[in-house]
Amino acid sequence: MAILGAIHPVLTAGLSDREDGWRLAEYEARGGYAALRRILSERIPAEKIIAEIKSSGLRGRGGAGFPTGLKWSFMPRGMDGDKYIICNTDEGEPGTFKDRDLLCHNPHAVIEGMLIGAYAVGANRGYNYIHGEIFALYRRFEDALAEARAAGLLGRNILGTDFSFELFAHHGYGAYICGEETALLESIEGKKGQPRFKPPFPASFGLYGKPTTINNTETFASIPFILNMGGEAYLKLGSPNNGGTKLFSVSGHVERPGNYEVPLGTPFAALLELCGGVRGGRRLKAVIPGGSSSPVLPAEIIMDCALDYDSISKAGSMLGSGAVIVMDETVCMVKALARLSFFYHEESCGQCAPCREGTGWLFDVLARIEAGDGRMEDVETLARVAGNIGGRTICALGDAAAMPVQSFLTHFREEFLYHIAHKTCLVPREVQWAGSGFHCADAGQQRAGRQG
């Protein structure tokens, strides 16, 4: 069971370790598809559903935190022709691994959420775009779709009503950029995954040029639960304007890394405690609270933060996708940033100039500093280049690449200066090795042997 702990669980409530806990029968036993059945039998108007979602304060779980009900209300109603609803399971942000557990253990919650979404926005077709590196879960989702189709929950005249909806699984090939919603659309259309310039937004010109709504997997999975418990109740689970619970993927230097479901507004300290605290009782150094693209926060700031969109934002970072990357005192921040910059440099789609050229430039400079060839003006260069990328690109990947650089430099500038001046890390290599877990005395010798 990959959900390691929870406080007031909603999405993961009742999930068991059993091999077939994901199956339709089990989901229905947990109360699944009740919301859909009620909507269809009572012919609840779409406006009412959207109002309910709005009142729940549900905000997109993919990273941007856009209010879901508001997004659904953008879809043009009373327009003929195809409309699409798309689930974004292209979970590529370093540190994020919640959606794959949802697909693994509760795929029918996603299907039901998409069905309700389709009903609410008037879509007749849906796709779940699944990250290429979790292919086994693409299969799992296909199996779940087959179950739903066999049970008359998908296809024409669902549950004997005039509501019809086709849902397909579609797997990508692991490009980070395809998690950007318009690149995802391009990818489904069979083209190279490159973001589109917006406007027009997908709600007016989406997949194949048709109105399209795109939401994150966790967002969809939350929908049935919200409608079952009522928007108000869901909102109350969390903090004001930050309704409900959220899955947090905690990775890095904690005793028990994994997925945790806690209400929004839970203090970071409580989550850390749920994970068993910092590994080996070491001192917390910094936390990236919302996936690799959100700004890093040093220990003293994050320890005072509550985990919701507004508090984290006030502290100078973003809740993002809820990927909490915990770093203890053995981490060299230069090395950490160099690794992050490598990721963005590799994953930039290459379409627009600032990101294509800038991410490479950032990585080159950081790799040079890390290798001991840094120059004093490099710190300025990094800040300037990151500033020149941010806000000037077609999609948010440019900002995602820039923000870590800017925040690392803000909070850990002296480590960079030390690294340049001394051509080595402020955190001694033995300390880093000790902290990594892979370089215990034994492993260190092995590594030395390999290099020799």
Partner 1 sequence: MLEIEIDGRKTSVREGSTVMDAAQQMNVYIPHFCYHKKLSVAANCRMCLVEVEKAPKPIPACATPVTNGMRVFTHSPLALAAQKSVLEFLLINHPLDCPVCDQGGECLLQDIAVGYGEDSGRCREKKREVAPKEAGALISMREMSRCIHCSRCVRFGQEIAGVMELGMTGRGRHAEITTFLGQSVDSELSGNMIDLCPVGALTSKPFRYTARCWELARRQTISPHDSAGANLVAQVKDGKVLRMLPRENEAVNECWITDKDRFSYPALSSPERLARPMLKQGGVWREALWSEALDYVAHGLKSITAEAGGDAAAALAAPHSTTEELFLLKKIFSRLGSRNVDCRLRQQDFSLDGQRAGASWLGMTLSELRHVDSALIAGSFLRKDHPLMAQRLRHAVQKHGAQISVLSVAADDLRIPLFARETVAPSRLVFALAAVLKAVLEEKAIAPQDQEGLAAVTVSGAARKMAESLLKGENAVILLGQAAEQSADFGVMHRLSARLAEASGARLGFLGAAANSVGAELLGFGGEANTDSRQMLVTPRRAYVLFGVEPELDAYDPRLALRALRSANMVALFTSFRHEAAMEYADALLPLAPFTETSGTLINAEGRIQRFSGVAPPLGDARPGWKILSALGSLLGFADCNFEDSAAVWRAAGIVSRGDAPEFAAGLDNGLRAAPVVLRKRASEERGLERVADVPIYFTDPIARRSAPLRQTADAAPPAARMAGATLARLGLQAEDAVRVRQGDGELAGEANLRAVLDARVPEGCVLISAGHAASASLGGMFDPVFVERA
Interface residues with partner 1 (CB under 8 A)? 175, 177, 192, 197, 199, 345-361, 364-365, 368, 375, 381, 388, 391-394
Closest approach, Cβ 395 to partner 1, in A, equals 11
Q: Which is nearer to partner 1, 178 or 188 (CB)?
A: 178
Closest approach, Cβ 375 to partner 1, in A, equals 8
Closest approach, Cβ 55 to partner 1, in A, equals 29
Closest approach, Cβ 180 to partner 1, in A, equals 13
Q: Which is nearer to partner 1, 95 or 358 (CB)?
A: 358
Closest approach, Cβ 138 to partner 1, in A, equals 22
Q: Are 153 and 33 in contact (CB under 8 A)?
A: yes
Q: Which is nearer to partner 1, 83 or 345 (CB)?
A: 345
Closest approach, Cβ 172 to partner 1, in A, equals 13
Contacts 24+ apart (CB under 8 A), 46-51: 46/77, 46/119, 46/120, 46/121, 46/122, 49/116, 49/119, 49/120, 49/227, 50/120, 51/231
Q: Which is nearer to partner 1, 67 or 350 (CB)?
A: 350
Closest approach, Cβ 360 to partner 1, in A, equals 4
Closest approach, Cβ 348 to partner 1, in A, equals 4
Q: Which is nearer to partner 1, 185 or 237 (CB)?
A: 185
Q: Say how far residue 300 (Cα) sits from the centre of its chain.
A: 25
Closest approach, Cβ 357 to partner 1, in A, equals 4
> For residue 395, what are the contacts with CB-CB under 8 A and spacing of at least 6?
177, 180, 182, 183, 195
Q: Which is nearer to partner 1, 164 or 381 (CB)?
A: 381
Q: Which is nearer to partner 1, 193 or 322 (CB)?
A: 193
Q: Which is nearer to partner 1, 32 or 354 (CB)?
A: 354
Closest approach, Cβ 289 to partner 1, in A, equals 23
Closest approach, Cβ 345 to partner 1, in A, equals 6
CA distances from 51 to 46, 191, 194 (A): 9, 36, 33
Q: Which is nearer to partner 1, 228 or 388 (CB)?
A: 388
Q: Nearest 5°: phi and psi at 175?
A: -80, 130
* Secondary structure in 3-state letters for the chain: CCEEEECCCCCCCCCCCCCCCCCHHHHHHCCCCHHHHHHHHHCCCHHHHHHHHHHHCCECCCCCCCEHHHHHHCCCCCCCCCCEEEEEECCCCCCCCHHHHHHHHCHHHHHHHHHHHHHHHCCCEEEEEECCCCHHHHHHHHHHHHHHHHCCCCECCHHHCCCCEEEEEEECCCCHHHHCHHHHHHHHCCCCCCCCCCCCCCCCCCHHHCCEEEEEHHHHHHHHHHHHHCHHHHHHHCECCECCEEEEEEEECECCCEEEEEECCEEHHHHHHHCCCEHHHCCEEEEEECECCCCCEEHHHHCCCEECHHHHHHCCCCCCCCEEEEEECCCCHHHHHHHHHHHHHHHCCCCCHHHHHHHHHHHHHHHHHHCCCCCCCHHHHHHHHHHHHCCCCCCCHHHHHHHHHHHHHHHHHHHHHHHHHHCCCCCCHHHHHHHHCCCCHHHHHHHHHHHC
Strand partners, 324: 250
Closest approach, Cβ 420 to partner 1, in A, equals 14
